[in-house]
A = this chain, B = another copy of it.
């Protein structure tokens, strides 16, 4: 199966799974569940679930279980967008071509919907349906919490806000921020499949390093898109970083330099997968896609 077909397949399956997991019928507080659904069933690329499912496939874990971990990751990713879009944070009105959660509902509901999505992610991974071995479920919950918490994604978001204020242009600092803000969840998405497969330390390390490379490539590509695309193409506001005086990889490398750097990272990421042969072809295509995508 080609990468695009595999990505589309996973996105469809995740949509169905999230629809079931965020059930309105069994909801005790329909408004917040609706707002969670509004934000999570918003047809993103579902890259993170795709990575879990590919890592799981390559290392021999069950696909349905991998999709559950992917759904949990998507809940974390979507909650972070809902909270980042709030007026006190990035103050964005548009996300994936739709009004952001606090515009469609209100700020209080958006805060609660984000909290609900964050929490339900742990409900999903800790549920016996995710793996029969409790130690695997607990490890998934532990690593997901580390990746998304104050020493992971939340910490990256905090550092990013601070960097904006002080107009930092230090390369190491920008990479460190990216590694937390975007990288930590990418890392968990690739390692999550390995945890499900109860793979050894070598496989886990390979998946983590692959994730680091493509995570950084992803962020560089994001910066390129931010200056090259229109809001219509991206479904969200562009040039926000430049407007906010935030240093981007373009400032550091120039546009061509940034393209080249992203390409090199994708090459390096692909090389890491040599031991998995053809089985890793879709993942290699994904690495290419990340640096060449148009939205």
Contacts and interface: CB of A to CB of B under 8 A. Distances in A.
A157 interface: yes
A35 to B, nearest CB: 9
A295 to B, nearest CB: 26
Given A109-B158, A118-B115, A139-B126, A150 B29 contact: yes
A55 interface: no
Contacts of A150: 27-29, 32-33, 36, 112, 116, 119-120
Contacts of A141: 122, 125-126, 137-138, 141
A51 B278 CA distance: 55
A123 B111 contact: no
A129 to B, nearest CB: 10
A29 B152 CA distance: 9
A136 B128 CA distance: 11
A89 B106 CA distance: 10
Nearest to A31: B158
A26 B116 contact: no
Contacts of A137: 134-135, 138, 141
A74 to B, nearest CB: 16
Interface of A: 26-29, 31-33, 36, 79, 83, 86, 88-89, 106-109, 111-112, 114-116, 118-120, 122-123, 125-128, 133-139, 141-142, 144-146, 148-152, 154-159, 161-162, 180
